Amino acid sequence: MTPKVTVNIDGANIKTARGSSVLDAALEHGTCIPHLCRVPYIESIGACRLCIVEHVVNGWSKVTTSCTLLVQEGMVILSNTEKIRKLRRNVAELLVSQAPNSRAIQDIAVRCGVKEVRYPFRNSECVLCGRCVQLCPGTFGVKAIGFVGRGKDRRVESPFDIRSELCNECGSCTDLCPMTVVPCDGPMKTGEEYLCRNCESKMAFAEEQGICISCDFGEGFQCERSPQNF
Amino acid sequence: MPPPTLDSILEERRSQPHQLIEVLQDVQEHYGYIAEESMRTISNELGVPLMEVYKVASFYKAFALKPRGKNVITICTGTACHVRGAKLILNQAVGQLGVKPSEVSDDGLFTIEHVNCLGACALGPVVTDNGNYHNHMSPGKLRKLIKSIYKTDAEEISHD
Amino acid sequence: MTKINTVKDLKALRKRLLKERKKIRATLVLCGGTGCQASRCQDVTDAVKNELAKQGLKRSVCVRTTGCHGFCEQGPLMVIEPGNIFYCHILPDDAHEIVTKTILDGEVVERLLYTDPVSGKLIQTESEIPFYRAQDRYLLAQNRQVDPCSIEDYIAIGGYSAFTKALFEIPPESVVREIKDSGLRGRGGGGFPTGRKWAECQKAPGDEKYVICNADEGDPGAYMDRCLLEGNPHLVLEGMMIGAWAIGAQQGYVYVRNEYPLAVKHARMAVDQARKIGLLSDKILGSSFSFDIDIARGGGSFVCGESTALMASLEGKVGEPRPKDVHTVVDGLWHKPTTLNNVETWANVPSIILNGSSWFASKGSKGSKGTKILALTGHIKNTGLVEVAMDTTINTVVFDIGGGGSNGNSIKAVQTGGPSGGCLPADKFDLPVDFDVLAKAGSMVGSGGMVVMDQETCMVDVAKYFLTFLQDESCGKCVPCRMGIDRMLEIITDITEGNGTSWQIGLLEELGSTVSQTALCGLGKTAANPVLSTLRYFRDEYEAHIHAKKCPAGVCQALVTYKVDAEKCTCCGICKRGCPHGAIVGKKKQVHAINLDLCQKCGICKSECDFEAIQVK
């Protein structure tokens, strides 16, 4: 069995497996830290910066992403302070101004407390969260898509913008995309989709329940505070 | 001396993925740009996925994915050159040659590029043509420089 | 080149070299730095060499082409030893006079001397020139003494003696303690204590460790690393060798910007020479220590100055930073413990080992020890590289060394620290060039760029310039940096085009602080500094753009119009020929006028006009 460590998140002492990230520990426990770029079971890249928390060391707090921070014995984490809420709201505002029509991004923005968007809306096709790139299994571990270019030219593409022979059409990229368009010529989505409200990792499969198949089978990351956690 | 072939550039670097940037640098230096075909060869020879080669080539500014003009005019737009009017120089070059930065002029003779610092800040604004430095540039001096390049080119053609 | 096998061999070689040097009658030291190369110093060197050959002085007079002397504005430069006679603005035609008069007759060629702009007096020696006098040149002074392409030159002035001292007399722990005690802090920007970095890396578990020299000087407006690596590459290598001995590394890398071809060439040459002579090899000089260095060329990306991005780039990958929850001293290049320092930091190491930590700590302020090289550029009389102790005030640098504003204009601000730094107004010029003091004032020492700006510079435009730069250079990985900079630029563009509203200033501040707190790497965390510092000190300029729709400095194109002053116009026609848009009308001997419909407000006419007849309002 994996050795356990105890971390303190927002005042609650949580026992969790060594080697897991603070975000995973929090989600497992039922503390919902908003996040976008994280894909379960895959090492996080820390790109969306929504899952920021305050990591308190010797009375000093440092703002860092919880998805890249590994749990350590006795760690103290604050995920819902005034400062964090404000920063998170500003980051979510940037995201939603870029993709106002995505239900998934809208959901996240609402959860982060965005009430108004102070920037002109842009309808980007992609917010470069990188979920598709992270998950793409490609062939023999060689990805079919990746980030190309840099700065404002950064985009998700196959080499030379031609569908790569490495793509095995598994559809994982479309499944995880919070937007309406995917980088390959895969099935286009209508824009009405949104992510599972539990795991925020996959598309919800039924409007009424609002959760994805994995969560329905009890395999996902239950994010709601349920009595057995306390 | 003929430019080294892709084979000779790859010599002693095969199957060493970390040499990717060095190889691309050499290809860029000798061919002026990195063609799709070279990227495929490099990918095979170094053992780096094509996606990775394409990513790297498109990320770094030193690499051009399309051919460039015969003469490359590089205009420094570093801070020191900026406050001394590098914008004017860039305007002059764009206006005179009728091309946007990093595009090739219709006659294939010129490409204008702007870089963020050439490291000769004390002498700004700085311009290089094919690697030769020109200091304290003004729009007028650049106009003359471009004209002189046109002239040398015309002479070369008439000699041929 | 004979191979050196022991320390004794090295000492014998040094002795022999010094003896040979005594035979030389005079040395002509010519600056061959990039600045002087742009001023055609190569032609001067050739002319001088020809002249010496013609007069039969080839053997007794030595010509040494060295790295940058710092005073780039006056190039091409020459210093004649003995006597330290300083000539500036030399042309190839002057070679004959220099050789016959100064070398043979011992006379000074007055017209080549430097004239003090204040007193109007001619100055004969380098040390008397105000630009050099107010400096504390330790690192830069060595540039003049060595030919960067010759390891013998470096050995002759005592080179590699610090390394051999460390290797045979000081155990690694004591080397680290010496560096710690000296108070040396990273010269690349952050100012992190070097000794602490080394100590952590030394303690990190693992046999395979690396040292890296960061010579990817992407900072626009700074070129001291280029100057050091071009002018004295062995000094940097020696620093790295001492560092490698201290932390236990077997391999080092120098990551050089490819835009610096001369630096790449000299660094490669230096490594080759050090290998041949036996200073980079297995079991160096009979000790148990093995070390080698490779040169890697950067691909042209500002973000590769960030340590994790640089290491990714060395591994042949895209230069994207990664989260630094585990530091690179433990998990760095190829996941091995790695010490990465800037060129200038490495260059400081040999002298600390040789002269002791207390010698180094005696210079500078309480928190920032030693000297710092600054690149003094912009609207200032004496531009060039300046080395001062780290308690020197900006006033001293700008006015005593820099000689004040060019064209007699008054200085408004100085931008320090490049795109990560900020702008300081003239009333803050009494602050010293100290890591902590400048950071508190909203700027930073950074890598040492110092761009002086006068009344003709619009501070909103400067902020816009840096945002454009950062937008171009951001890797685009994290949301705050990619989207935040983009939105800040959008707002500032609105302001410079006269579409700004007053609530946008508050939004800029809020967004700026969000970006600096949430971005992934150092580039993003400091990206808002140019905006925040100009907002702090030059808010009135922002307000003028927003409320009065005016650009006080006359820079922002949308807010100004160009006009010909009929009284000053001499009808010369230069502006008409210069205008790339054909917007200037007027016949010969007739006052010219600007067709505002065609005018693109590029400002070329104004820069061309010799009579200040083009007005900007």
Distance, in Å, from the CA atom of B11 to the CA atom of B24, rounded to the nearest integer, reads 13
**Which class is A4-79 in CATH?**
alpha beta
The DSSP letter of residue C222 is -
Please tell me the predicted confidence (pLDDT) of residue C482: 93
Please tell me the predicted confidence (pLDDT) of residue A159: 87
Q: Do B51 and A147 touch (CB under 8 A)?
A: no
Could you give all domains of chain C from N- to C-terminal order, each with its CATH number? Answer: 19-133 (3.40.30.10), 151-361 (3.40.50.11540), 371-454 (3.10.20.600), 459-548 (1.20.1440.230), 561-616 (3.30.70.20)
Chain C: residue whose CA lies nearest to B53? C317
Coil, strand or helix at C224: helix
Distance, in Å, from the CA atom of B20 to the CA atom of B34, rounded to the nearest integer, reads 13
CATH topology of domain B71-159: Glutaredoxin (3.40.30)
- Is the CB of A151 inside 8 Å of chain C's CB atoms? yes
Token digits for C579? Answer: 């205008």
Tell me the per-residue pLDDT of B8-37, one tens digit each, with 9 for 90 and over.
888 888 888 889 999 999 999 888 889 999
Distances (CA, A) of C448 to C372, C376, C451: 7, 9, 10
The DSSP letter of residue A173 is H
Could you tell me the pLDDT band of residue B88, with boundaries at 50, 70 and 90?
A: confident
Chains in contact with A, where contact requires at least 3 CB pairs less than 8 Å apart: B, C
The DSSP letter of residue B4 is P
Please tell me the predicted confidence (pLDDT) of residue A185: 44
- Is the CB of A13 inside 8 Å of chain C's CB atoms? no
Interface residues of chain B, partner chain A, Cβ below 8 Å: 36, 39, 49-55, 58-59
Interior angle at CA A67, CA A65 and CA A73, nearest 5: 95
Interior angle at CA C538, CA C535 and CA C541, nearest 5: 105
Of A74, A51, A52, A48, the closest CA to residue A62 belongs to A52
Which H helix or E strand runs over A82? helix A82-98
Chains in contact with C, where contact requires at least 3 CB pairs less than 8 Å apart: A, B
Distances (CA, A) of A30 to A12, A229, C49: 11, 7, 80
Which of A150, A157, A160 is the closest to B59 by Cβ?
Answer: A150
Neighbours of C406 (CB within 10 A): 18
Q: In the block, which residue shows the tokens 């400095």? A: C553
- Is the CB of C502 inside 8 Å of chain A's CB atoms? no
- Is the CB of C122 inside 8 Å of chain A's CB atoms? no
- Is the CB of A98 inside 8 Å of chain C's CB atoms? yes
Q: Please, which residues have CB within 8 angstroms of residue C9's CB and are 6 or more apart in sequence?
A: none
Averaged over successive runs of 10 residues, the pLDDT of chain A (230 residues) comes to 88 90 88 87 89 92 92 92 94 92 84 90 86 85 87 87 81 78 45 68 68 67 39
The alpha carbon of residue A147 is apart from the nearest alpha carbon of chain C, in Å, by 9
Averaged over successive runs of 10 residues, the pLDDT of chain C (617 residues) comes to 87 92 88 83 90 87 89 86 88 89 87 85 88 89 90 92 94 95 89 93 93 90 90 95 95 91 93 94 92 91 89 91 86 93 95 94 92 91 91 93 86 90 92 92 89 91 92 91 94 93 93 94 90 94 93 87 85 82 81 85 82 83
Coil, strand or helix at C140: helix
Q: Do A146 and B52 touch (CB under 8 A)?
A: yes
User: Which residues is A54 bridged to in the sheet?
Assistant: A63, A78
Token digits for C86? Answer: 């300083």
Tell me the per-residue pLDDT of C230-277, one tens digit each, with 9 for 90 and over.
999 999 999 999 999 999 999 999 999 888 888 999 999 999 999 999
Domain positions in chain A are 4-79, 81-124, 131-176, 196-230
User: What pTM value is reported for the model?
Assistant: 0.89
Please tell me the predicted confidence (pLDDT) of residue C134: 87
Partners of residue B38 in chain A, C-beta under 8 Å:
none
User: Which residues is C86 bridged to in the sheet?
Assistant: C79
Q: Do A160 and B54 touch (CB under 8 A)?
A: yes
Q: Is C339 left (phi over 0), alpha (psi -120 to 50) or beta?
A: beta
Distance, in Å, from the CA atom of C211 to the CA atom of C338, rounded to the nearest integer, reads 6
Distance, in Å, from the CA atom of C518 to the CA atom of C480, rounded to the nearest integer, reads 7
Q: Do B36 and A160 touch (CB under 8 A)?
A: yes
CB-based contact C189:C359 (threshold 8 Å): no
Tell me the per-residue pLDDT of C286-297, one tens digit each, with 9 for 90 and over.
999 999 999 999
Partners of residue B49 in chain A, C-beta under 8 Å:
142-143
CB-based contact C379:C409 (threshold 8 Å): yes
Please tell me the predicted confidence (pLDDT) of residue A70: 92
The alpha carbon of residue A142 is apart from the nearest alpha carbon of chain B, in Å, by 7
Partners of residue A69 in chain C, C-beta under 8 Å:
325
Query: B121-132 b/e with 16+ CB inside 10 Å = b?
Result: bbbbbbbbbeee
Pairing verdict, β C584-585 and C562-564:
unpaired
Of B159, B124, B127, the closest CA to residue B144 belongs to B127
Please tell me the predicted confidence (pLDDT) of residue A1: 67
Please tell me the predicted confidence (pLDDT) of residue A226: 36
Token digits for C257? Answer: 């910007």
Distances (CA, A) of C306 to A214, C203, C414, C567: 39, 23, 24, 55
Tell me the per-residue pLDDT of C182-208, one tens digit each, with 9 for 90 and over.
999 999 878 899 999 999 999 999 889
Interface residues of chain A, partner chain B, Cβ below 8 Å: 142-150, 153, 157-160, 164, 166
Distance, in Å, from the CA atom of C262 to the CA atom of C33, rounded to the nearest integer, reads 9
DSSP labels, C320-386: -----SS-TTTS-GGGS-EEEEEHHHHHHHHHHHHH-HHHHHTSB-SSSBSEEEEEEEESBSS-EEE
Q: Please, which residues have CB within 8 angstroms of residue C525's CB and are 6 or more apart in sequence?
A: C515, C516, C517, C519
Coil, strand or helix at C44: helix
Distance, in Å, from the CA atom of A38 to the CA atom of A58, rounded to the nearest integer, reads 29
Q: Do C223 and B87 touch (CB under 8 A)?
A: no
DSSP labels, B99-152: --TTSB-TTS-EEEEEES--S-GGG-S-EEETTEEE-S--HHHHHHHHHHHHHH
User: Which residues is A53 bridged to in the sheet?
Assistant: A64
ipTM: 0.89
Q: Do B62 and C299 touch (CB under 8 A)?
A: yes
Of C231, C220, A49, the closest CA to residue B120 belongs to C220
Coil, strand or helix at B23: helix
Which of C472, C475, C514 is the closest to A87 by Cβ?
Answer: C514
Partners of residue B63 in chain C, C-beta under 8 Å:
299
